[in-house]
Amino acid sequence: MNAVAHKNPVHRRNDWHHLPVDQVADDLKTVLDDGLSDEAVSSLRAQHGENRITPQPGRGPLLRFALQFSQPLVVVLVIAGVVTAFLGEWVDSGVIFGVTLINAVIGFIQEGRAEDALAALARSVTSEVTVLRGGAKRRLPSTALVPGDVVLLAAGDKVPADLRLFRAKELQAIESALTGESTAVSKHHKALSPDTLLAERGNMAYAGTVMVRGQGAGVVVATGDATETGRISRLIAEAPDLTTPLTSKMAVFSNWLLIAIGLLAVLTFAIGLWRGESAFEMFMAAVALAVGAIPEGLPAAMTITLAIGVSRMAKRRAIIRKLPAVETLGSTTVICSDKTGTLTENQMTVREIFAGGVSYPVSGSGYAPTGKIADEPDLDSPDSCALRECLLGGGLCNDAGLRKSGRHWEITGDPTEGALLVALRKGGLDEATLQKLFPRLDEIPFDSARQYMATLHEIEGVRIAYFKGAIEQLLPRSTSMLDAAGVPVPIDRERIEKIAGEMAVEGLRVLAVGRLASLSGGSLDHKQIERDDCELQFVGLFGMIDPPRPKAISSVKACHAAGIVVKMITGDHAVTALSIASQIGIVKAGAEAENTVLTGRDLAALDDDALRGVAQAVHVFARVEPEQKLRLVRALQADGEVVAMTGDGVNDAPALKQANIGIAMGLAGTEVAKDAADMVLTDDDFATIEAAVEEGRGVYDNLVKFITWTLPTNFGEGLVIMAAIVAGATLPITALQILWINMTTAVFLGLTLAFEPIEKGVMRRVPRPPGTPILDHALIARIVLVGVLLLGGSFGLFLLELARGHTLAEARTVAVNVFVVVETFYLFNCRSLSRSALKIGLFSNPAIWYGVATMAVLQLSLTYVPLMNQLFQTAPIDAHAWMEIFAVGLSALLVVGVEKHLLHRRR
């Protein structure tokens, strides 16, 4: 089998696990240490295409269109159409079917657009991978991979293609996407027997699974559809779900309304018959009541408003992955934010080094290695031995890269580590030379729960392990420290803590370096280090600045004004965290750490009840382990808070899922965190969260505006029909005319509210308590008020027209125009829920004016075009009638304006 496989590597599948790594590399014509060359990549790319699984076709357009007819309203219309046809009313029946069709087409187009927009957003969060090509590490989109590429894996990565691993250090993966098993499995690089089952192939990493621990490297053996996942097609891009708690609540509301209206319609029919009206007339009245009172535009308008919100947020660099987040954002009461990279720039610069009992200030800023270590010490002199060791430790125990691109210096990898490389160069050393001289034999990758990293090297025949990490991790394990000449002397912990404390007070991030000299084995593991008798030598400290993001200060202030509490949850040191928190305004300047900061250790000592009280009161949490974030979220939620929580690492995923809004970092975040999040920040900036909350509030407002605008029409139409039946009068508007009003105004007037810009002052309101009804008493009263105005205006003018001797068609045309004109004027009232239409700027939403102009054309054609007159039983009306119609419209505008003014003053 081996021989066959060897002859035909390209067509072979599934059987890489039993080959020695070298043979895999030979078969795929790649070099494990360097990766593929650029030429090889382009020909392989032509052969294999993009590394992307062809999505399976979702619901086809025909099915989607057909599903439009399954909505309850449409079913009612279809029944009405069939019965009218049966009664021989061909025109009515034709128009009803026409309207049904138009409704379905509009629904189909709008739904398609919203789905496309959401799907495009989901795709825009591309995943990147670290690849070795031509001997250099590169970050590439995962779609660019080809078989033979050498991929470097770290905890938090989503495996981008099927890989045969050739290096694995404590590597663990969750393969539930493939095997359904949700516990992590360990990975290794040893060849396995040919008959090993897929789920047991520990030396393979499969596309779509995620790495949750450790580090490793593998060769791509299959990409795109050729991967295991591609083969079984489990990773199909699913159509995004367009429902949110609010839309589903409204759908339920609409269904109940439908039943209630159905019953009312039957009642109307019965009353009419009982009064001796013709069955035909009464049937048409019942149909009119049903189609009039159902707010048919509501579900579509809500989805569209939400979709517009999503795209507005994307423009402000917040990608929504789950639609309900748009709504929830607006009611967020607490934002728990990481410090590094979200509230700060994540642009580290070493400002101070402490080694051998001496403090060395370091000049320069950013990643350009142009500054100096103070006094330019000669690193070869015996007096600078500790400094040299410190720089060496920082440079070797390091996975970052530093290079000049054009005139700028750039780093790849972790900024904390990048800053150490810059300091190394300022000392006259460079990492590439060091790494060649003292190659890495083994490593313990950094993990934020353990807070340190270690690497093993051979230096002049001696094995030395370098450590770097949080001072709390290294200092307790150190039994000696290096003096200036590099000689181990008894450790002075107090002095070191004092220096570290001074650095932290200035807001510097402190990183300690230590070493274990003269090791015998060729490998490193946690157990070796976490033993009680581990005798670490303390080498030195790096103090680096990470300035607050300029916009963080104003955003935190804006959140406070909006009634949102901001909490900093960081892995960093308590004093550093406090210093940054007070610079940003999360806590008052001059606050003492003991009272204001809670550390991970304090947190661990509290039970859930005690944590609830503390979680509310404390705003800075330091040295927090990712797992503790979950407890914090739960504690806050137990007190009824709506929590937004940021995260970037694998271990943050549970907290992101638990939070009401999980927010992942687009730049520094792992794939696992992004998958768990509701929202991804493409710039990792705290200010973006604030912007998204503002948009969320705006979207919610616009939804309420649409509901407040649309319901009076339905209410008014229902009232008109009922009143006519009760009074035994002719219907002032027919079923067809009602359909016309509802369909045209919902699209051309109501939907324009979705484009309303965010009102000034939304961020000066307190968050909306979750669970509050969409419409408060004042809005319900307004809906009733406008409904009654519509009844009075249309019925009144209808009767007046008849009394003046006008025809029924003319009187009905007037009634229809009253509805449309009142709705148009009322639309301006609805542009703001509390402020006057004039105050928010008449032209601040151009969509309104396009809508009004279109509506005017449509109404004029309904009134004056003979074909329309024939279809809708309308007739031309005179200028006098128009004046009366406009007088009704204007008075509605004024009445609601006064009502809003009085209400606003009372509040």
Which residue among the candidates 338, 652, 684, 685 is catalytic per the annotation?
338
What is the SS3 assignment for 137-160? EEEEEHHHCCCCCEEEEECCCECC
The least CB distance from residue 417 to ligand ATP, in Å, is 5
Task: Using the rule CB under 6 A, give the single segment among 54-62, 182-190, 450-458, 787-795 that binds ligand ATP.
Answer: 450-458
Q: What six digits make up the tokens of 239?
A: 């159509």
Taken in order 294, 296, 299, 304, the sign of the CA dihedral is negative
The least CB distance from residue 892 to ligand ATP, in Å, is 54
Which residue number places its CB atom closest to ligand ATP?
571
Which residue lies nearer to ligand ATP by CB, 572 or 678?
572
The least CB distance from residue 716 to ligand ATP, in Å, is 55
The least CB distance from residue 416 to ligand ATP, in Å, is 4
Which x/- pattern over 400-439 shows residues binding ligand ATP (rule: CB under 6 A)? --------------x-xx----------------------
The least CB distance from residue 331 to ligand ATP, in Å, is 25
Helical ranges in 397-483 per DSSP H: 415-426, 431-437, 471-474
Which residue lies nearer to ligand ATP by CB, 678 or 684?
684
C-alpha to C-alpha distance for 906 and 778, rounded to whole angstroms: 12
Among residues 308, 302, 243, 255, the alpha carbon closest in space to that of 750 is found at 302
Alpha carbon distances (Å) from 439 to 95, 134, 529: 81, 20, 21
The least CB distance from residue 413 to ligand ATP, in Å, is 9
Which x/- pattern over 341-380 shows residues binding ligand ATP (rule: CB under 6 A)? x---------------------------------------
Which residue lies nearer to ligand ATP by CB, 474 or 821?
474
CB 128 within 8 A of CB 151: no
Q: Choose, by CB under 6 A, the member of 572, 684, 756, 801 that binds ligand ATP.
A: 572
Which residue lies nearer to ligand ATP by CB, 339 or 782?
339
Is beta strand 679-681 parallel, antiparallel or unpaired with respect to 661-665? Answer: parallel
Which residue is listed with tokens 């949700």? 182
β-strand partners of 782:
none
Among residues 307, 457, 310, the alpha carbon closest in space to that of 395 is found at 457
C-alpha to C-alpha distance for 884 and 881, rounded to whole angstroms: 5
Helix H or strand E segment including 854: helix 846-864
Q: Choose, by CB under 6 A, the member of 356, 571, 696, 698 that binds ligand ATP.
A: 571
The answer to whether 338 contacts ligand ATP (rule: CB under 6 A) is yes
DSSP string, 203-246: TEE-TT-EEEEEEEEEEEEE-GGGSHHHHHT----PPPP---HH
Which residue lies nearer to ligand ATP by CB, 267 or 618?
618
- At position 555, the amino acid (one-letter code) is S
The least CB distance from residue 649 to ligand ATP, in Å, is 7
Task: Using the rule CB under 6 A, give the single segment among 118-126, 165-173, 451-459, 801-809 that binds ligand ATP.
Answer: 451-459
The least CB distance from residue 518 to ligand ATP, in Å, is 23
Task: Using the rule CB under 6 A, give the single segment among 565-573, 589-597, 805-813, 860-868 that binds ligand ATP.
Answer: 565-573
Which residue is listed with tokens 């992307």? 52
CB 717 within 8 A of CB 738: yes
The answer to whether 686 contacts ligand ATP (rule: CB under 6 A) is no
C-alpha to C-alpha distance for 564 and 562, rounded to whole angstroms: 6
CB 749 within 8 A of CB 851: yes
Is beta strand 478-482 parallel, antiparallel or unpaired with respect to 488-490? Answer: antiparallel
Task: Using the rule CB under 6 A, give the single segment among 84-92, 221-229, 567-575, 578-586 that binds ligand ATP.
Answer: 567-575
The answer to whether 389 contacts ligand ATP (rule: CB under 6 A) is no
Tell me, yes or no, if 701 is annotated catalytic. no
Q: Choose, by CB under 6 A, the member of 16, 446, 706, 715 that binds ligand ATP.
A: 446
Q: What six digits make up the tokens of 303?
A: 């989805």
Tell me, by CB under 6 A, how many residues bind ligand ATP. 20
State the DSSP code for 173: E
Which residue lies nearer to ligand ATP by CB, 394 or 486?
394
Task: Using the rule CB under 6 A, give the single segment among 239-247, 285-293, 571-579, 850-858 that binds ligand ATP.
Answer: 571-579
Which residue lies nearer to ligand ATP by CB, 629 or 812?
629
Alpha carbon distances (Å) from 608 to 164, 505, 674: 44, 31, 28
The least CB distance from residue 233 to ligand ATP, in Å, is 37
Helix H or strand E segment including 364: none
Among residues 693, 650, 698, the alpha carbon closest in space to that of 320 is found at 693
Q: What is the largest CA-CA distance in the chain?
A: 115
Which residue lies nearer to ligand ATP by CB, 669 or 718?
669
The least CB distance from residue 146 to ligand ATP, in Å, is 31
- First-to-last C-alpha distance (Å) of the chain: 82
Which x/- pattern over 460-479 shows residues binding ligand ATP (rule: CB under 6 A)? --------xxx---------
The answer to whether 756 contacts ligand ATP (rule: CB under 6 A) is no
The least CB distance from residue 136 to ligand ATP, in Å, is 21
- At position 642, the amino acid (one-letter code) is V
C-alpha to C-alpha distance for 40 and 519, rounded to whole angstroms: 42
Among residues 821, 838, 825, the alpha carbon closest in space to that of 896 is found at 825
Which residue lies nearer to ligand ATP by CB, 451 or 845?
451
C-alpha to C-alpha distance for 211 and 156, rounded to whole angstroms: 5
Which residue lies nearer to ligand ATP by CB, 452 or 872?
452
Task: Write down the number of H helices and E strands in the chain.
Answer: 33, 26
Among residues 18, 14, 13, 22, the alpha carbon closest in space to that of 2 is found at 18
List of residues 6+ apart from 803 with CB closer than 8 A:
none
Angle at 444 between CA 442 and CA 450, to 5 degrees: 165
**SS3 of 334, please?**
strand
The answer to whether 451 contacts ligand ATP (rule: CB under 6 A) is yes
C-alpha to C-alpha distance for 674 and 282, rounded to whole angstroms: 58
The answer to whether 89 contacts ligand ATP (rule: CB under 6 A) is no
The answer to whether 340 contacts ligand ATP (rule: CB under 6 A) is yes
Task: Using the rule CB under 6 A, give the single segment among 211-219, 316-324, 448-456, 774-782 that binds ligand ATP.
Answer: 448-456
The answer to whether 570 contacts ligand ATP (rule: CB under 6 A) is yes
The least CB distance from residue 514 to ligand ATP, in Å, is 11
Task: Using the rule CB under 6 A, give the single segment among 69-77, 433-441, 445-453, 690-698 that binds ligand ATP.
Answer: 445-453
The answer to whether 453 contacts ligand ATP (rule: CB under 6 A) is yes
Q: Choose, by CB under 6 A, the member of 68, 127, 179, 448 that binds ligand ATP.
A: 448
C-alpha to C-alpha distance for 336 and 209, rounded to whole angstroms: 28
Question: Which parts of 521-550 interact with ligand ATP (CB under 6 A)?
Answer: none
Which residue lies nearer to ligand ATP by CB, 338 or 431?
338
The least CB distance from residue 597 to ligand ATP, in Å, is 13
C-alpha to C-alpha distance for 109 and 303, rounded to whole angstroms: 12
Which residue lies nearer to ligand ATP by CB, 543 or 696?
543
Task: Using the rule CB under 6 A, give the single segment among 89-97, 267-275, 336-344, 519-527 that binds ligand ATP.
Answer: 336-344
Question: Which parts of 480-519 interact with ligand ATP (CB under 6 A)?
Answer: 511
CB 637 within 8 A of CB 322: no
Which residue lies nearer to ligand ATP by CB, 482 or 569?
569
- Residues with active-site annotation: 338
Applying CB under 6 A, the residues found at the interface with ligand ATP are: 338-341, 414, 416-417, 446, 448, 451-453, 468-470, 511, 570-573
